[in-house]
Amino acid sequence: MYQPEIEQFGEELYFVAGSPASRRLRMQAELLSRTDVPLLITGEAGSGKATTARLIHSLSIRSSFPFMRVNCAALTPDLLESELFGYEYVTVNGQTESKPGKFEICATGTILLQYLETIPSSIQLHLLRFLETKEFVRYGGKTQIRADVRIMAATRADLQQAVAEGRVHEDLYDRLSAFRLSIPSLRERLEEVPLLLGHFMNRLTRRYGVSAPCFSSSLLEGCQQYSWPGNLRQIEVFVKRLLVSGDEAAALEELNIHHGLEAEEGKSKGHVNGHSKNDKHPREENSSVKSLVRYAKDEAERNVIVHALEETHWNRKAAARLLNISYRSLLYKIQAYKLISQEGSPLSHRSVVGDRR
């Protein structure tokens, strides 16, 4: 059966299929929606793992029940265990109080565990036991609780290597990887780029109430030649910057900068083509364009960092893992962009360097 190229299956949720790879993925998602087994979803950052999981849930018999995501990298072991399984505690009056976890709240629904490889070993064992028995015990409790929840797990890591290194239990990997779905990267389906550019532009113009600009053939060609290492997430940010600046020349220059920024920086040191670094460069007339590009690039990086910090509740070490950069690099970027902590105060150099969260 023919599938539409852009399929909406929830509020602000779309599945875009403009290539054979994406159409195969859509067919696989429909087949997996008819089963009720655990599922492992693999793919690069920003490739659409969570969106595909939501699509499978929306096509399944569980679609009228909750779908919940848990970012396992953003929580400490104790918080993660209580987030998943809930917890019990005794008050000063000797009464037992309890709070349900995701497995209880999401009854008859679907849970997506993101960054599976970051789950601590002890919680992996609890998770394995739940997969085998559909029962669990709240953190601090003793009573066995039964729950009917479908578990999906998403990762961009090499789980076979994680198993070999002892970071992921082999039995848990076997349970989750019996059914596996691999999300193709955007560079494997570059023919979708024009469709994705139009899709994101239409979404953003509707959101902001502005008219959508037309894409020139040179912009489309440049975008289709670019590898998009950040996948769908990167192309959405690119479209947002293009909508704000309205400057296609700057957008194309940005793609060139991504391709050869280090080479350009290397040439700028010392003499280049017979010119001293203090001489006037032949392309100096484009300085305003480059300034706009750098501003857009910095603004995009700042937004990505803020999003990661908010998603990890300002746990900076977890945010660094999420961004795939070093902890020290994140700390200095927080200081450089003068980001504001959850408490509402600017992060000083001392507070950044001394962060142990």
Q: Which of 44-58, 153-167, 204-218, 275-289 has the lowest mean pLDDT?
A: 275-289
The predicted structure's pLDDT at residue 251: 80
> Using CB atoms within 10 A of its CB, is residue 52 exposed (0-12), middle (13-18) or buried (19+)?
buried
Which one is the CATH code of 6-184: 3.40.50.720, 3.40.50.300, 1.10.10.10, 3.40.47.10? Answer: 3.40.50.300
pLDDT, average across residues 331-336: 82
Task: Tell me the pLDDT of the chain averaged across its residues.
Answer: 82
Supply 209's token pair: 């109430």
**Cα Rg of the chain, angstroms:** 24
Helix (H) and strand (E) counts in the chain = 15, 11
Give the whole-number percent of the chain exceeding pLDDT 90: 47
Q: Using CA atoms, how far apart are residues 38 and 231, in angstroms rounded to an integer? A: 26
- pLDDT at 268 > cutoff 70: no
Say which amino acid occupies 260. Answer: G
Q: Is the domain defined by 188-266+286-353 classed in CATH 1.10.8.60? A: yes
Q: How far is CA 160 from each of CA 37, 157, 171, 174, rounded to the nearest angstrom?
A: 20, 9, 12, 10
User: Positive or negative CA dihedral for 297, 301, 307, 308?
Assistant: positive
Q: Which of 36-40, 87-91, 150-154, 155-159 has the lowest mean pLDDT?
A: 87-91
Q: Edge-to-edge strands of the sheet including 150-155?
A: 67-71, 110-114, 150-155, 39-42, 180-182
The predicted structure's pLDDT at residue 187: 92
Bridge partners, residue 113, by sequence: 70, 153
The predicted structure's pLDDT at residue 11: 78
Q: Using CA atoms, how far apart are residues 187 and 157, in angstroms rounded to an integer? A: 18
The predicted structure's pLDDT at residue 51: 95
Q: Using CA atoms, how far apart are residues 68 and 102, in angstroms rounded to an integer? A: 8
- pLDDT at 162 > cutoff 90: yes
Other Cβ atoms within 10 Å of 139 Cβ, number: 22
Supply 201's token pair: 């532009």
- Cβ–Cβ < 8 Å for 270, 277: yes
Give the whole-number percent of the chain exceeding pLDDT 70: 82
Q: Which residue has the tokens 């003068």?
A: 338
Other Cβ atoms within 10 Å of 43 Cβ, number: 19
* pLDDT band, very low/low/confident/very high, at 121 (cuts 50, 70, 90): very high
Bridge partners, residue 181, by sequence: 41
- pLDDT at 134 > cutoff 90: yes
- pLDDT at 287 > cutoff 80: no
* pLDDT band, very low/low/confident/very high, at 259 (cuts 50, 70, 90): low
pLDDT, average across residues 313-339: 82
The predicted structure's pLDDT at residue 4: 57
- pLDDT at 276 > cutoff 70: no
The predicted structure's pLDDT at residue 25: 95
pLDDT, average across residues 311-328: 82
- pLDDT at 266 > cutoff 80: no
199 compared with 289, residue with greater pLDDT? 199
- pLDDT at 69 > cutoff 60: yes
- pLDDT at 72 > cutoff 60: yes
Secondary structure letter of residue 343 according to DSSP: T
Half-sphere exposure of residue 346: CA atoms within 13 angstroms, side-chain side = 7
Strands 135-137 and 87-90, sheet pairing: unpaired
- Cβ–Cβ < 8 Å for 67, 112: yes
- pLDDT at 209 > cutoff 50: yes
Q: Using CA atoms, how far apart are residues 57 and 34, in angstroms rounded to an integer? A: 10
End-to-end Cα separation, the chain, in angstroms? 51
The predicted structure's pLDDT at residue 349: 35
Strands 110-114 and 150-155, sheet pairing: parallel
* pLDDT band, very low/low/confident/very high, at 254 (cuts 50, 70, 90): confident
Domain map (residue ranges) of the chain? 6-184, 188-266+286-353
- pLDDT at 289 > cutoff 60: no
Q: Using CA atoms, how far apart are residues 148 and 26, in angstroms rounded to an integer? A: 26
For the stretch 214-218, contacts whose Cβ atoms lie closer than 8 Å and that sit 24 or more positions apart, written own/partner, are 215/248, 216/248, 218/248, 218/252
pLDDT tens readout for residues 234-251: 999 889 888 888 888 888
Q: Using CA atoms, how far apart are residues 287 and 274, in angstroms rounded to an integer? A: 20
- pLDDT at 299 > cutoff 70: no
- pLDDT at 357 > cutoff 70: no
pLDDT, average across residues 154-158: 94
